[in-house]
Amino acid sequence: MSKQIHFGLIGAGRIGRVHAETLTFRLPEAKILAVTDIDSEAAQALAAHCGIPTVTDSADEILANPAIDAVLICSPTGTHAELIVKAAEAGKHIFCEKPIAFDLGKIDAALAAVEAAGVQLQIGFNRRFDANFVRVRHAVESGEIGKPSLMHIVSRDPAPPPISYIRSSGGLFLDMTIHDFDMARFLMGDEVEEIYTSAGVMVDPEIGKAGDLDTALILMRFRNGVIATIDNSRKAVYGYDQRVEILGSAGKIEIGNCYPNQAIVSNGSTVHRDLPLNFFMERYTESFALELKSFTQAVLEGKPTLVTGIDGRIPVVMALAARKSYDENRPVRLEEVNA
């Protein structure tokens, strides 16, 4: 393989555009040769913006192109597993957005195809590449804060997505909390064995009518005994709320929200600052770039990716356990849903 990875991009929506800009403007070792999307106008616009030479009518055309080494799967979740299988069978390395699928059987089939083909697969859990979360992981791994006992994750969006998206997203736990499930595993370096969920519809009744939830508190117990919580809401009017605290026997580590500036204004009536960065596009700009750099290097060097297919599977198991816990109003062990 050459010193430059040639990519095909499947999906030209919001996250597809983010990845296309990263590969085009920030990674000289990568080049996008083709893009496809069911919205041909979106694909054409992205191709013009990023200098992508070819817009195809289907993913099959990208997978059949022998000049393409790897694909970015940024299409709707319902297409991910099938595209992974097809890409693996075509001998393409694969970067796929989360989740792989809503169904564990489909995930397992996709992972089996990847293993059989011997190609690289990385799942798009970008927060693992954020410098703040990396620092928390280091504090736990190195013993800097002693033996962990409690972890709190706060993850709240500034506003809920459209109801049309809610209906096809897989629900709060598979769409939003899945990032926090991955973070819990990553930060603690251990696996969750039991989950209890308390949740409701506190933001928008239409979300409930669509069969979903918009507010949740999830209690988890790790195999090592650590107790953890995830606090989710679809609506925090002040902006994107992303915080973590881990308490250990020798201290604690915490990270707060990121802001567009560090200015604090003090006057006779208030002490205040500007609102935090508004959403994930702004908050995690660097982590999106770093995850693609990591994937590209893994392919070039023939090394394992840092976020594997199993890393993509386990948060889905956690999400299914969280929903089962809510539905049955009881703690659920992961082994109950890990078929």
Task: Return the pLDDT at 3.
Answer: 84
Task: Return the pLDDT at 96.
Answer: 98
C-alpha–C-alpha distance, residues 107 and 292, integer Å = 22
Cis-peptide into 99, omega within 30 deg: yes
pLDDT of residue 280 exceeding 90, the answer is: no
Percent of the chain with pLDDT over 90: 96
C-alpha–C-alpha distance, residues 250 and 210, integer Å = 46
**Which of the four pLDDT bands, split at 50, 70 and 90, describes residue 339?**
low
Query: Angle at Cα 198 formed by Cα 193 and Cα 203, nearest 5°?
Result: 135
Write out pLDDT tens, residues 197-215: 999 999 999 999 999 999 9
**Which of the four pLDDT bands, split at 50, 70 and 90, describes residue 138?**
very high
What domains can be seen in the chain, in order of their start residue? 5-119 (3.40.50.720), 131-278+315-336 (3.30.360.10)
pTM of the model: 0.95
Write out pLDDT tens, residues 40-86: 999 999 999 999 999 999 999 999 999 999 999 999 999 999 999 99
For residue 139, with 0-12 CB atoms within 10 Å meaning exposed, 13-18 middle and 19 or more buried, which class applies? buried
| Residue whose tokens read 């990875």 | 5
pLDDT of residue 233 exceeding 90, the answer is: yes
Percent of the chain with pLDDT over 70: 99
Q: What is the mean pLDDT of residues 271-287?
A: 90
**How many CA atoms lie less than 13 Å away from 262 in the CB half-sphere?**
0
Write out pLDDT tens, residues 169-194: 999 999 999 999 999 999 999 999 99
pLDDT of residue 1 exceeding 80, the answer is: no
Task: Return the pLDDT at 2.
Answer: 56
Q: What is the mean pLDDT of residues 252-266?
A: 95
- Cβ-proximal residues to 163 (8 Å cutoff; 6+ apart), any chain: 206, 207, 210
Give the tokens for residue 259. 């802001």
Mean pLDDT of the chain: 96
Task: Return the pLDDT at 282.
Answer: 85
Sheet holding 70-73, edge to edge: 54-56, 30-36, 5-10, 70-73, 93-96, 121-123
**Which of the four pLDDT bands, split at 50, 70 and 90, describes residue 338?**
confident
**Which of the four pLDDT bands, split at 50, 70 and 90, describes residue 293?**
very high
Write out pLDDT tens, residues 23-34: 999 999 999 999
Task: Return the pLDDT at 10.
Answer: 98
Give the tokens for residue 11. 């999906």
Write out pLDDT tens, residues 316-333: 999 999 999 999 999 999
Q: What is the mean pLDDT of residues 10-35?
A: 96
